[in-house]
Chain A
Amino acid sequence: MFDDFFIRALVAGIGVALVTGPLGCFVIWRRLSYFGDTLAHSALLGVTLAFTMEFNIALSVFIISSLIAIILIQLQKKTNLPGDALLGLLAHSSLAVGLVVIGFLTFIRFDIMGLLFGDILAVSVDDLLIIWIGGALILITLKFIWKSLFASTVNYELAEAEGLNPDRAKTIFTILMAAIIAISIKMVGLLLITGMLIIPAAMARNISTSPQKMVIYSIIGGLLSVIIGLFTSLEFNTSSGPSIITAALLLFILSLFKIKQSIKLKN
């Protein structure tokens, strides 16, 4: 049962879940779900460019996603359009441009389903290295900016007044978002990466009373989703991404039965 490719997929998935856990918490706290979606959609453009120029996929996706993030920040400063409109604009246009470019690349056989929804068969040893080294770098960087990022998430002015650096932390976090999308695209697929970020974290929110606990539960939720999802994928021959996200959803539904009293009172 444990074919070689499956072990690779499992190791890759565990690596991804360890990183999406803490990042996902910040995505929820800072209300960045749609921002994550936009970066993920733009990843298709990154993938096609990688194929056109025979470039490393993860690196290419990372560069394009970072670029889209910078464009978004510039558009926010220069136009009067609301944030969600700009996000939609960038998400759909980069997805569209990516698909148009794919149309031109008739000489390459493209597994579009694998790209959109993840393909465990496609995880190579190189991908494992990218996930684990990239993931470690992301976590180390996140640890480094944690204090500033968390404090400014709670209250920007307090963080700024008391000598932390919220603006720098925000910029670095944006880059980390592009990085996690780049390393997890093969596993989860670009349509579902944001799900991997927010669903385990949302599950964790339901059962947590402190930020640290939420991060830990979010990681555990992500790991369980990956393991359950991948076994399902192997057993029923389903795409890996949807299987993982469905597992995450089931965990979220279970967590609804354990919502902390204080949250219920508020709503």
Chain B
Amino acid sequence: MSTDQNILVKLNDAGLQLNNKWLVKGVSLQVEKGKIVTLIGPNGSGKSTTAKIALGIYKKIDGSVEKYTNKVGYVPQKISIDWTLPLRVSDFMVLTENLNNEIIDEALSLTGVIHLKDKNLGDLSGGEFQRVLLARAISKKPDLLVLDEPVQGVDFTGEIALYELIKKISDELDCGILLISHDLHTVMSATDHVVCLNGHVCCSGSPLDVAKNNEYKALFGEQASQILSRYEHKHDHIHTDEGEIKKN
């Protein structure tokens, strides 16, 4: 398979600076059809920012983004919805694209929230709302899915089912997925490519490559490393407040 034609979005040395502080810097990655790329990293490492750069939400960025599709489904990490709007789940489903009832029902059934279809969006619990968000993103059968911690607040069994669903969607729709997740077990079992961020790309590669990487363990600590890697290593650099990287 030639990779060039399958690329959906590509970041070239992309970064974002806000008030003279780098939120994330020098990120290069690409998402291809049918592949799941996962971003991992500690809080504040620029995962969500990287996802938003890929989506084209930020206009003034460093480097460049090449986006080859407009059929995008997005599940943001945080979403603030103004409740002055009377908005039912069914209204929310057609927010960015008109879909027929069958497609809406199918998507809501897949994420297990079909019974909430006529409910007011503001009356849902956190986990229910998360399932609706995911249903909305997949219902439009996008080429590119960007999922920023899509199962936050979802109960344990639901979490596993939803990750399985995400994997299945990636296969069936042949869409590319950019996933941000804290669940390292899932990340390592379902992902094609892992990018480990900490204000910059610490390491990237297949899940096994990353697990073996020195910086991965330094970031995630002993326990996380034991999940996948027995290699021991040392963090070779520190981060200053300005986002610069200094070698030890």
Contacts and interface: CB of A to CB of B under 8 A. Distances in A.
A158 B86 contact: no
B1 interface: no
Interface string A147-182: 100110111011111111000000000000000000
Interface stretch (A40-48, A121-129, A210-218): A210-218
Given A161-B72, A262-B120, A213 B52 contact: no
Q: Chain A CB within 10 Å — which of B73, B86, B92, B140 has the most?
A: B86
Chain B interface helix/strand/loop/mixed: loop
Interface in B102-125: 120, 122-123
Interface in A63-120: none
A151 B96 contact: yes
A138 B37 CA distance: 45
Contacts of A34: none
B87 A210 contact: yes
A161 B76 CA distance: 10
A153 B85 contact: yes
Contacts of A159: 95-96
Interface string B53-95: 0011100000000000011111010011111111110011001
A154 B86 contact: no
Chain A interface helix/strand/loop/mixed: helix
Interface size class of A (residues with CB under 8 A): 20 to 34
A262 B81 contact: no
A59 B56 CA distance: 38
Interface in A196-216: 205, 208-214
B91 to A, nearest CB: 5
Given A161-B57, A210-B87, A262-B122, A154 B74 contact: no
B57 A160 contact: yes
Q: Chain A CB within 10 Å — which of B56, B72, B96, B122 has the most?
A: B96
Given A262-B120, A262-B123, A266-B122, A158 B85 contact: no
B82 A153 contact: yes
Given A161-B55, A262-B120, A211 B91 contact: yes
Interface of A: 28-29, 31, 147, 150-151, 153-155, 157-164, 205, 208-214, 260, 262, 265-266
Given A29-B82, A154-B92, 7 more contacts: A151-B96, A154-B81, A159-B95, A161-B56, A161-B146, A163-B71, A205-B86
Considering the complex of A and B, which 5 residue pairs feature the smallest CB-CB distances, nearest first?
A161-B55, A163-B70, A161-B74, A162-B96, A208-B86
